[in-house]
Chains A and B, each alone.
Chain A
Amino acid sequence: MGFVRWFHQLASPPYVYRLAGRLAPWFAVSGVVLMAGGGYGGLVLAPPDYQQGDGFRIIYVHVPSAYLGMLAYMVMATSAAVGFIWRMKMAHGLAVSAAPLGASFTFLALVTGGIWGKPMWGTYWQWADARLMSELLLLFLFLGYMVLRASFDDREKADRVSAILAVVGVVNVPIIHYSVEWWSTLHQGPTIARLDAPAITMDMLAPLLVMIVGFTVFFAWLLCKRLQGEILDREGRARWVEQLTGGASA
């Protein structure tokens, strides 16, 4: 019963606006602390790699970014689907807010991958690599979603049409995962997702996990702030927004 009531409250813009506003500072503080701690652990405490030297340390940015690109796509597609099925404007708002964040993280993952690739592979870009390629395709999916939205003047129609695209595109996310196994490539195999015996020592792994959690919380903070902006944009004429801004909204 409590859950149903809470779910209905999530359809109310002022409630979601306040909820996001209340959560944001917690996410901001814990994200900064975790990223600072993980950064110190990764850049200072972790030992240099026996083959890659200090060059491997870029994984503390690269892996969380790549992971967050995919997480953002899942957040976007899930909330777009929720918005489409239950006609929840707030869920569409969340999907819209996640898209540029996901595109930025994916772009960051590609750039850091290129920076790592130059000394390690001798090239910034390696077409033969499945994960690079699927990361690039993920970026294209984000951009396609944003372009499709921008080509509708009617926001509600943009919400519903782009939701379908997001759900169709989510088919690509499992393909990203399995492409690692489908193609044998130059890229080193996954090093974390082996629970029995990780191929990476604990003092290298621990900062990475902290960084991943830190990036995720940082993403949640950005998502809250973007969602608040999106709600204000959508509800600009509502009375509660005018009370909030003292009638200064457009």
Chain B
Amino acid sequence: MESFLLILRRDFRLAFRRWSELATPLMFFVIVASLFPLAASPDASQLRDSGSAVLWMSALLSSLLALDGLFRADAEDGSMEQLILSPAPLGLIVLAKILAHWVVSGVPLLLLAPLIALSFYLPADALPTLIIALALATPTLSVLAAIGAALTVSARGGGAIIGLLVLPLTAPVLIFGTRATELAVTGESTLGPLYLLAALAVFALSLGPLAASAAVKVAME
């Protein structure tokens, strides 16, 4: 537990010292969503229909982008080897890194998402559900992206293929996330998809770090 908190604190400090890496995925999220009306149409009813899809797609892509370098810096400067050698279970260390990354990249995304949603004319009543759905979905996305980052940490071409590996696996999150948002927009009960998102998050958080740590270990061999 002690090493968990140490890693958490270390990664927070590193994240705030390299603030540009922290800001990039968020700006990416906002820019992708803002460019969408240029590609489609600025028509209010059309934007309302596609708003939740645009939000979820941009959130998905930005969380992939955010975790691309999760292990690379540590692998390059040798600290990953030390983490593997440490007596603390590697899965726990990886979970700490994912959590630290989620707090600095996922939480700001939760705060920005309502602004984007309002600009897409989604009703204000739907915003709490949107935030809850994103809060339940982004940890799953972070875990999946972390697995991708771990698999590609020593691959040729590095992070460019993360999307290829991880995006097909994010389909359930996307389905239930947009479903919850659409139900909230029409004012229906959103509990079903929210429970499923929570179930996916529990599943991903309990098994994902193990897969990611196994991949990191292989990559560092």
B172–A175 contact, CB under 8 A? yes
The reply to whether A165 and B151 form a contact with Cβ atoms under 8 Å apart is yes
Complex Cα distance A140/B147, Å? Answer: 17
Q: Which of A17-25, A153-161, A194-202 contacts B (4 or more CB under 8 A)?
A: A153-161
> Are A164 and B214 interface neighbours, CB within 8 A?
yes
In the complex, the answer to whether A161 meets B151 with C-beta atoms within 8 Å is yes
A148 pairs with B169, CB closer than 8 A: no
Binary contact track B192-221/A, C-beta < 8 Å → 1, others 0: 000000000000000000010011001101
Closest-by-CB residue of A relative to B167 is A140
Known: A148-B151, A151-B152, A168-B211. A161 touches B218 (CB 8 A): yes
Residues B168 and A141 in contact, CB atoms below 8 Å apart: yes
Min CB gap B156→A, angstroms? 5
Q: B161: CB under 8 A from chain A?
A: yes
CB pair A169 B169 closer than 8 Å: yes
- Could you tell me if A164 and B215 are in contact, using CB atoms closer than 8 angstroms? yes
* Minimum CB–CB distance for B111 against chain A, Å: 30
Binary contact track A132-147/B, C-beta < 8 Å → 1, others 0: 0100010011011001
**Which of B115-155 touch A at CB < 8 Å?**
147, 151-152, 154-155
* Chain A residues near B85 (CB-CB < 8 A): none
Closest to B165 in A: A144
CB of A161 within 8 A of CB of B155, answer yes
For the complex, count residues of A whose C-beta is within 8 A of B.
22
Residues in B whose Cβ lies below 8 Å from that of A164: 147, 151, 211, 214-215, 218
Closest to B214 in A: A164
Docked complex Cα distance between A108 and B172 (Å): 24
CB–CB B152/A144 < 8 A: no
A152 at the interface (CB under 8 A from B): yes
Q: Provide the residues of chain A in CB contact with B221, threshold 8 Å.
A: 157, 160
Q: Count CB-based A-B contacts (< 8 Å).
A: 61
Within 8 A of A (CB), among B151-182: 151-152, 154-157, 161, 164-165, 167-169, 171-172
**Is A171 part of the binding interface, using a Cβ–Cβ cutoff of 8 Å?**
yes
Contact A151–B161 (Cβ < 8 Å): yes
**Contacting residue for B211 out of A133, A141, A167, A172, CB 8 A:** A167
Closest to B144 in A: A168
Chain B residues lying within 8 Å of A161, measured Cβ to Cβ, are 151, 155, 215, 218-219
Given A147-B161, A157-B219, A164-B218, do A152 and B169 touch, yes or no (CB 8 Å)? no
Verify B215–A140 contact, CB threshold 8 A.
no
In the complex, chain B residues whose CB is within 8 Å of the CB of A140: 164, 167-168
Whether B218 and A168, one on each chain, are in contact in the complex, defined by CB atoms closer than 8 angstroms, is no
Partner of A151, one of B156, B167, B168, B171: B156
Q: Is the CB–CB distance between A172 and B169 below 8 Å?
A: yes
Task: Tell me the smallest distance from the CB of A174 to a CB of chain B, in Å.
Answer: 11
* CB-based nearest A residue for B196: A182
Q: Please give, as numbers and ranges, the residues of chain A lying within 8 Å of B214 by CB-CB distance.
A: 164
A210 and B174 alpha carbons, distance in the complex (Å):
38
Q: How far is the CA of A160 from the CA of B219 in the complex (A)?
A: 9
Question: Contacts of A148 on B, CB cut-off 8 Å?
Answer: 151-152, 155, 161, 165
- Of A143, A151, A175, which contacts B155 at CB under 8 A? A151
B156, B218, B219 — which one has the most chain A CB atoms within 10 A of its CB? B218
Which residue of chain B has its CB nearest to the CB of A153? B156
Which 10 pairs across A and B sit closest by C-beta, in order of nearness? A140-B168, A151-B155, A160-B218, A144-B165, A137-B168, A151-B156, A164-B215, A144-B164, A168-B211, A141-B168
Residues of A within 8 A of B (CB): 133, 137, 140-141, 143-144, 147-148, 151-153, 157, 160-161, 164-165, 167-169, 171-172, 175
Known: A151-B155, A161-B155, A167-B211. 8 other contacts (CB 8 A): A137-B168, A148-B165, A151-B152, A151-B156, A153-B156, A164-B151, A165-B165, A172-B169
